[in-house]
């Protein structure tokens, strides 16, 4: 075998193969990341990106293949080995202790000590120096739970740097950020790059890839389908490599023809689980045949708002009027019967019963409908026929209705939910985060479906943390911040920056006055 | 259908493995204390199946265990841990015995259903108290059903020592009417095989159908698997918690009833024995599947029935408690077996 010199690469993964029962998650994957570059790994869900990075970080071990760090072959058996090789990972879900301070979180596990005691002073000093060096400003004594998400992410990054990481892996880092926070993160990443760090970015947002990376590795179905320099490619080409066919990145839609008002929310007040008001006197309305998008950063009352509208959460005060009827105190069942569909934010919590077969999941909410039940017995044959039809119509894969919900991929689980909710001919659809965690192909499908529902005259209330999604689907945009609407606009009369400011708590009229 | 079969197999394998391993461990214990496990197991087997009497005894022991196993298993399906089957057995038995003393004037085709309904309603109502407390007051059913067990025991003690005591000062109820008693199929010596076994067999079918085929079963399972999704789908969690507890309690109450109408002909204090708690064991080994529960009930009744013979062969009877304990431990910790299997598969591939 010929000896190759990998010394100009920070990371080389060669012929990585990882099998899970029934799945070839990584199939002889090669990854080359040059020292000091920002390298993106893009691909659909289930393409094997996170699996690949988990092997680099030692969370799982490859069945085959070799890993070279700075040209030297390394055995990475666990995260400790990875940290020793100066590799750090910032996970999609932060690994922070909410009740502890920033300093305490950062040094956790590697606390500086003075004799038998924790040396808080030294820890604080070290962290001040670190954050100054990299432009990662954060108050070392703040308690994590008081910090906004963007700040928490900084803490995660400092934590990784504190452990001496030269190579940083970031898994979908912008999923939870506002556009402003995203820009700040990019500044930080560029700064890190200037200081000689190498960064690997897992993402599915192609515009971000274009904005800050030098090169891209595209994965599909466990294989590498392309390695390109960012400056030599474009989002469309990347999307095609990811999906293996032509994809439309923006939805084509006609102008909306809104009809009468179907949903009105008046001065709604809803509390979150800890008893604090999360929706604070919010009003909005949705007309037939239009999509009203609610833009906002996660945790600003969206969950409570949609749960209140669909009847899953108690309303403290205010009114919800649907089809002219006050439904504020109606059960979820009654709202369903009146024609309210719901694509929930958390599909595994609310939308799907993982241990039910697909054909049972297709009738959730309609299981006592005379179509599927004679009052006592389920009409199993009819249910199966109905399910076969939906599976075909919505291209659920694999097309097996006996499969348990948990055995479908995220995209196909979402298709099951969307199919079910559409099948019952709702007049209003409350849609929350419909494409979270889905791949480009599934997103395209869900978006097209929502537009065609709108064109059939269904009113749609769309809640999304993805500003791009809000812009491409909505006919009207409302921005939510701390349980209040900051302003209403339409996609053609605003910019992502303006909506981003509203999402950060600025009222629309104030923004426009200042401008 | 393949997936379902696969899962079913997985479950069966876990239960069978657990039984086998526990027999092996018990054998090791026997060797350590200087006994011959082969002799012991031969005696155990002979004691459970060796004679007509043994088989009848075995079936009669299994019969109420099937019902309490179904009771606990049905609760599990709804995500409820009904530890109170014993109390429900007592209340069901007590109520059926009381009604049994009133129906002497009716023909059997009226009195038998009346007595059975009384027993089931008694158990259902008793369990529904815990269901209601859980659904609308947030009290955990494990706590409330345990407490209701005590309450049931004391009520029964009071009743059969006072207002509902048979003449003669013994703590037991008067005999129920002859028309309310289930006939025997056959008798060998002092042991009789009662027709109550058919009640248990029918219950297996009914519960299977409820779970697999009905709207109620769908809702109960939905609540058990994922209450959030159930609520989202318009299924009332409160209603289903109460209903599932009531059905569970009805089965336990029926277990008590069968002892009144098919075995003792009256209520007396020790009638419930530990059958409510055995129901937990059986539901676990049977993995909440009606047929699995039936088989598990026969397993438990067999080692119990055979244990006397084992004692005679010189091996302490208490060993069956060890066997039972290890089975439960392994089924509950089924990950152990899964892990062993996965490792084996990996080794086979390598």
CB contact under 8 A, B218 and A360: yes
Same domain, A236 and A291: no
Whole-number pLDDT of residue B226? 92
Q: Which residue ranges of chain B lie beneath pLDDT 50?
A: 1-2, 350
Q: Which of A45-49, A478-482, B259-263 has the lowest mean pLDDT?
A: A45-49
β partners of residue A114: A117
d(CA A415, CA A405): 11
Q: How far B288 CA lies from chain A's nearest CA (Å)? A: 14
Take residue B214 and report the two structure tokens written for it.
């009905």
B274 close to A (CB below 8 A)? no
ipTM of the assembly?
0.80
Secondary structure tally for chain A: helices H, strands E: 17, 22
* CA-to-CA separations, A170 to A35, A125, A199, in angstroms, rounded: 16, 26, 8
DSSP states along A483-511: TEEEEEE-GGG--HHHHHHHHTT--HHHH
For residue B125, being part of any structural domain is answered with yes
The secondary structure of B38-76 as a DSSP string is HHHHHHHHHHHHSSHHHHHHHHHHHHHHHHHHHHHHHHH
DSSP state for residue B167 in the 8-state scheme? T
Q: Supply the Cα-derived Rg of chain A in whole angstroms.
A: 25
**How many structural domains comprise chain A?**
2
Query: How many Cα atoms occupy the beta-carbon half-sphere of A379 within 13 Å?
Result: 16
- Which residues in chain B have their CB less than 8 angstroms from residue A380's CB? 213
Q: Which of B187, B207, B241, B51 is nearest to B120 (CA)?
A: B207
The answer on A293 and A148 residing in a single domain is no
Average pLDDT in the A103-108 region? Answer: 89
- The residue written with tokens 């084992």 in the block is B310
CA B140 to chain centre: 21
Could you tell me if A364 and A438 lie in one domain? yes
Phi, psi of A283, deg, nearest 5? -130, 145
Cα–Cα distance for residue pair B114/B224, rounded to 1 Å: 32
Tell me if chain A has a CB within 8 Å of the CB of B109.
no
- Does the pLDDT of residue A510 top 70, yes or no? yes
Among A453, A296, A432, A272, CA closest to A351: A432
pLDDT tens digits along B310-343? 888 888 888 888 888 888 888 777 666 666 666 6
How confident is the model at residue A307, as a pLDDT? 93
Q: Is A185 part of a structural domain of the chain?
A: yes
Give the residue from chain B lying closest to A312, CA to CA.
Answer: B232
Distance between CA atoms of residues A247 and A235, nearest Å: 10
Distances in whole angstroms, Cα of residue A195 to Cα of each of A33, A89, A155, B22: 17, 18, 18, 62
Task: Show the domain range for A303.
Answer: 261-514
Domain end among A190, A216, A243: A243
Would B7 be classed as within a structural domain?
no
- Show residues of chain B in contact with A333, CB under 8 Å: 234-236
Shared-domain flag, residues A125 and A159: yes
pLDDT band at A246 (very low <50, low <70, confident <90, very high): low
Beta carbons of A262 and A338 less than 8 angstroms apart:
no
Residues A156 and A16 placed together within one structural domain of the fold: yes
Could A353 and B232 be called an inter-chain contact, meaning their C-beta atoms sit closer than 8 Å? no
Q: Give the domain-ending residue among A194, A213, A243.
A: A243
Facing residue for A353 by CB, picked from B2, B216, B229: B229
- State which of A211, A243, A275 marks the end of a domain: A243
CB contact under 8 A, A377 and B234: no
**Do A300 and A260 touch, CB atoms closer than 8 A?**
no
Q: Which helix H or strand E contains A68, and what residues bound it?
A: strand A64-69
Full residue range of the structural domain in which residue B208 is found = 66-301
Residues in CB range of B183: below 8 A, 6 or more apart: B194, B195
Question: Does any domain span residue A250?
Answer: no
Claim to verify: residue A29 and residue A92 sit in the same structural domain: yes
Domain check: are A211 and A326 in the same one? Answer: no
Amino acid A1: pLDDT: 45
**Given this model, what pLDDT does residue A501 score?**
84
**Is residue A66 included in any domain, yes or no?**
yes
State the total domains in chain B: 1
By the 10 Å C-beta count (0-12 exposed, 13-18 middle, 19+ buried), B23 is classed as middle
Share of chain A above pLDDT 90, in %: 40
- Give the model confidence (pLDDT) of A160-180 as tens digits: 989 889 999 998 888 777 778
User: For residues B291 and B307, is the Cβ–Cβ distance under 8 A?
Assistant: no
């Amino acid at each position: 075998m010929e000896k190759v010199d990998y010394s100009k690469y920070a990371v080389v993964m060669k012929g990585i193969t990882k099998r899970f029962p029934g799945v070839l998650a990584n199939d002889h994957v090669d990854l080359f990341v040059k020292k000091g570059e920002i390298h993106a790994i893009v691909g659909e869900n289930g393409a094997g990106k996170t699996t690949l990075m988990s092997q680099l970080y030692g969370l799982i071990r490859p069945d085959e293949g070799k890993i070279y760090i700075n040209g030297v072959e390394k055995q990475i058996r666990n995260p400790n080995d990875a940290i020793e090789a100066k590799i750090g990972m910032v996970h999609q879900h932060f690994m922070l202790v909410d009740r502890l301070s920033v300093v305490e979180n950062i040094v956790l596990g590697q606390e500086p000590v003075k004799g038998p005691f924790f040396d808080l002073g030294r820890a604080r000093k070290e962290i001040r120096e670190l954050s100054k060096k990299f432009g990662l400003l954060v108050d070392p004594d703040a308690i994590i739970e008081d910090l906004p998400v963007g700040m928490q992410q900084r803490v995660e990054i400092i934590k990784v740097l504190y452990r001496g990481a030269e190579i940083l892996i970031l898994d979908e880092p912008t999923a939870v950020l506002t556009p402003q926070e995203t820009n700040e993160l990019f500044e930080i990443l560029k700064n890190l790059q200037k200081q000689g760090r190498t960064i690997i970015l897992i993402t599915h947002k192609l515009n971000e890839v274009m904005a800050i990376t030098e090169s891209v590795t595209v994965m599909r179905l466990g294989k590498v389908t392309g390695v390109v320099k960012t400056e030599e490619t474009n989002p469309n080409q990347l999307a095609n490599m990811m999906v293996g066919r032509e994809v439309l990145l923006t939805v084509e839609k006609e102008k909306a023809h809104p009809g009468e008002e179907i949903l009105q929310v008046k001065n709604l007040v809803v509390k979150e689980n800890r008893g604090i008001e999360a929706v604070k006197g919010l009003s909005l309305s949705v007309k037939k045949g239009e999509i009203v998008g609610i833009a906002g950063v996660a945790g600003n009352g969206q969950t409570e708002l949609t749960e209140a509208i669909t009847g899953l959460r108690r309303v403290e005060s205010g009114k919800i009027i649907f089809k002219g009827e006050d439904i504020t105190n109606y059960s979820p069942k009654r709202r369903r019967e009146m024609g309210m569909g719901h694509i929930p934010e958390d599909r595994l919590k609310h939308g799907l019963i993982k241990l039910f077969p697909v054909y049972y999941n297709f009738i959730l909410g309609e299981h006592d409908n005379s179509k599927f039940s004679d009052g006592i017995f389920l009409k199993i044959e009819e249910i199966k026929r109905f399910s076969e039809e939906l599976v075909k119509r919505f291209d659920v894969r694999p097309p097996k209705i006996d499969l348990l919900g948990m055995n479908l991929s995220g995209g196909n689980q979402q298709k099951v939910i969307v199919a079910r909710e559409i099948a019952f001919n709702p007049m209003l659809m409350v849609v929350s985060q419909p494409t979270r965690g889905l791949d480009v192909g599934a997103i395209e499908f869900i978006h097209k479906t929502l537009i065609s529902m709108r064109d059939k005259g269904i009113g749609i209330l769309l809640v999304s943390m993805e500003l791009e999604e809000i812009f491409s689907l909505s006919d009207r945009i409302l921005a939510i911040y701390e349980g209040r609407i900051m302003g209403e606009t339409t996609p053609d009369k605003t910019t992502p920056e303006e909506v981003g400011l509203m999402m950060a708590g600025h009222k629309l009229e104030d923004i426009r006055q200042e401008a | 259908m393949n997936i379902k079969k696969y899962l079913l197999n997985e479950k069966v394998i876990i239960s069978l493995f657990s039984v086998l391993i526990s027999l092996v461990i018990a054998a090791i214990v026997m060797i350590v204390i200087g006994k011959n496990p082969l002799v012991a197991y031969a005696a155990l087997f002979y004691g459970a199946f060796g004679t007509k009497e043994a088989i009848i005894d075995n079936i009669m022991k299994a019969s109420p265990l099937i019902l309490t196993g179904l009771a606990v298993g049905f609760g599990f399906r709804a995500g409820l841990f009904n530890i109170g089957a014993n109390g429900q057995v007592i209340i069901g038995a007590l109520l059926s015995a009381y009604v049994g003393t009133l129906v002497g004037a009716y023909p059997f085709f009226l009195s038998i259903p009346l007595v059975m309904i009384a027993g089931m309603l008694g158990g259902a109502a008793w369990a529904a108290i815990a269901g209601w407390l859980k659904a609308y007051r947030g009290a955990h059913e494990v706590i409330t059903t345990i407490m209701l067990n005590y309450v049931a025991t004391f009520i029964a003690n009071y009743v059969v020592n006072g207002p509902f005591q048979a003449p003669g000062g013994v703590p037991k109820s008067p005999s129920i009417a002859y028309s309310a008693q289930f006939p025997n199929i056959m008798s060998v010596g002092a042991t009789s095989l009662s027709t109550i076994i058919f009640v248990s067999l029918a219950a297996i079918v009914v519960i299977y159908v409820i779970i697999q085929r009905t709207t109620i079963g769908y809702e109960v399972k939905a609540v058990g698997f994922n209450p959030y999704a159930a609520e989202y789908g318009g299924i009332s969690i409160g209603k289903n918690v109460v209903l599932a507890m009531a059905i569970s309690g009805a089965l336990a109450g029926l277990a008590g009833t069968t002892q009144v109408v098919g075995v003792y002909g009256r209520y007396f204090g020790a009638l419930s024995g530990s059958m409510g708690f055995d129901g937990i064991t059986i539901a676990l080994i049977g993995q909440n599947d009606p047929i699995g529960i039936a088989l598990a009930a026969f397993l438990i009744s067999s080692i119990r029935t055979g244990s006397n013979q084992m004692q005679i062969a010189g091996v302490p009877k208490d060993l069956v408690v060890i066997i039972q304990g290890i089975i439960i431990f392994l089924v509950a910790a089924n990950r152990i077996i899964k892990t062993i299997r996965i490792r084996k598969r990996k080794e086979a591939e390598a």
